[in-house]
Amino acid sequence: MKQKSSMGKLDRKYMMAGFLFLLPAVVIYLIFAVIPFFDSFFLSFHEWNGFSARVFIGLDNYINALKDSTFRTAIRNSVYLGVVSSVISVVVGVLMAWMMLYVGNRWGAFFRTILFSPSMIPAVITALIFAFVYEPDIGILNNLLGALGLESLQTAWLTNRATALNCILFVSAWKQVGLTMVLCFAGMQGINLSLVESARLDGASDFQIFRKIILPLVMPFVQLSAIFALMSGLKIYDSVVALTNGGPAKSTTVMPLWILQNSFSFNKYGYGAAMSMIFVLIVLLGMILVKLIVRGDSYEQ
Amino acid sequence: MSNNVFGASKITKFIAYLLLGLYTVVVAYPLLFILFTSLKTNKEFFTNLFGLPTDLQWVNYVNAWNIGKLGQYFGNSAIVTAVSVVVTCLVSLLGGYALAKLRIPHADTVMSAFMVFNFIPGIAIYISLYTMMSRMKLTGSLITMILPYIAWSIPFAMYIIKQYFETVPQELIESGRIDGCNEFQTFLHIMFPLVTPALATIVVFTFINNWGELMWANIATAASATIKTLPVGLLNFKTEMGVEWGQYTAGICMVTIPLMVIFAYFQKYFVAGLTNGAVKG
């Protein structure tokens, strides 16, 4: 143990070394994340085409954004994709994780690897893959419907207003389920088995064990997966660009896409920045709501 | 986890295999379809849409690589990803160690500040960042992607390292100091070898995020075609190359296969990182 008198001096020495070690991370993060964010924040109160001087216009960009019907569609679509894809991925993911408890080890490893694989494929690639599913003539989906004698259901999935958004939703859920499954399965593996055994002795059915023991104990993992799914759903951009580019008639546009187009294609940088601040607020609000809805009290086992 | 402990009934087990089997088909079929298509000629694609390829067309990969310029894009992606992964590891190792062990005041608050920004959607940063970088003359080369990718990977990486170092007993550091090591030597000889599992987690996450990143790459490469990364190149492949199904799907496989390899090696670290509960979505 160190002498008390030397503590202060040594502490300061370690602290200086610490600041030095931390410096690169802080500098890089400030330049490429923090400063641009605050610059966007200030930019959101200005009109700016990217070249001339910025003109301060107060809250005009925000007011225009709320009046912009395409932006409202974009908000609605992003929220829809976020909420519904997280509900689907949680329901299917938890179901698959539960089922995973009942298969043998070797089959379990096989299923787990396959089902998880979409989660690590980049979103743009999963969307390009699904372009082959939705393609009207050569696509897997229409051919499958044809083979089943359901020609009446065939449609041009991505250019039909009624189906385009849900096509994007399916890709996103398809990608997200594996992650939820792996997370919740990891949680289920941590469950104290004596709980299950004693319930079994008391004559509980498989469903009762799931409902009363497994599900409550994996709630923290469910909450975590729901947050992941909601975040990635709200931020969906890649699959929209790859599948519909916001069409038909902007009906599948999402917040990041509309913001990007306004900024970089229409040179309305201030307006884009204001919409991106609204986007930030919606994302933060979503996170808080998930935490409130899916209560994940952790149990000490 | 062995199945007999949960002691399910025969019917439950049957349902389990059935559901998992069905869902496996839903997941695996589109992937296999792409793999098969990447080995067919354009003609066979139309005549034999769903079957196995009869005559394996590896030439599709060669053509996509050379004629479709995917080789160039692959090279760009490889450089961007490799450099950003290595630098992220170095910077976060130092920073995470400092926050965990070097008595920085309010270390947890500093960490939280990094994490808060991590949840901000990228687009709120990109608008200003692009104009900033073009004023700093940082656009038009791979640096345009490398530096921001490093920055955006730091919070999660540093968090993992910090958590990991916190479990290492202080006595180990003290022993190094007593033996006369300076702070950097202590770090290099005593702490670094202990931290490889955390590094593996960071490598797999940073690799997966940066290898497939689209939005910033799309903005950053809009003005100069030579620095396009693989995801951007593939997104525009059909417009630029016409409908060459074999080459196109070969390109999709080129993006996916390195990820599968990385994942196969690092699977357990990936799950460990996820359960640590902080990922940029």
**Tens-place pLDDT, residues B190-245:** 877 888 888 888 998 899 899 999 999 999 998 888 999 999 999 888 777 667 88
- Taken in order A80, A85, A86, A90, the sign of the CA dihedral is positive
Cα angle B243, B246, B247; round to 5: 75
The distance of Cα B236 from the centroid of its chain, to the nearest Å, equals 21
Residue-level pLDDT at A164: 92
Would the CB atoms of A129 and B34 count as touching at under 8 Å? Answer: yes
Chain B residues touching residue A19 (CB < 8 angstroms): 98, 104
- Shortest CA gap B2–chain A (Å): 6
Residue-level pLDDT at B5: 55
Torsion-angle region of residue B55: left (phi > 0), alpha (psi -120 to 50) or beta? beta
Would the CB atoms of B3 and A102 count as touching at under 8 Å? Answer: yes
Give Cα separations from B93 to A18, A21, A165, B100, B187 (angstroms): 12, 9, 42, 10, 9
Report the DSSP pairing between strands A55-56 and A46-47. antiparallel
Q: Which among A176, A181, A194 is positioned nearest to A235, based on CA atoms?
A: A176
Chain A residues touching residue B94 (CB < 8 angstroms): 21-22, 24-25
ipTM: 0.88
Taking residues B150-157, what's their average pLDDT? 94
Would the CB atoms of A260 and B219 count as touching at under 8 Å? Answer: yes
**Tens-place pLDDT, residues B82-112:** 999 999 999 999 999 899 988 888 889 999 9
- Shortest CA gap A161–chain B (Å): 23
DSSP per position, B6-62: HT--HHHHHHHHHHHHHHHHHHHHHHHHHHHHTTS-HHHHHHSSSS--SS--THHHH
CA distance A29 to A24: 8
In this model, does residue A295 exceed pLDDT 80? no
**Tens-place pLDDT, residues A195-253:** 888 888 888 888 888 888 899 989 888 988 898 899 899 999 999 999 998 888 899 99
Q: Give the domains, in start order, of chain B with CATH numbers.
A: 3-59 (no CATH), 68-275 (1.10.3720.10)
Residue-level pLDDT at B275: 66
Across the A:B interface, residue pairs with CB atoms under 8 Å apart total 284
> Which class would CATH give A69-123+164-293?
mainly alpha
Return the residue matching tokens 């923290």: A220
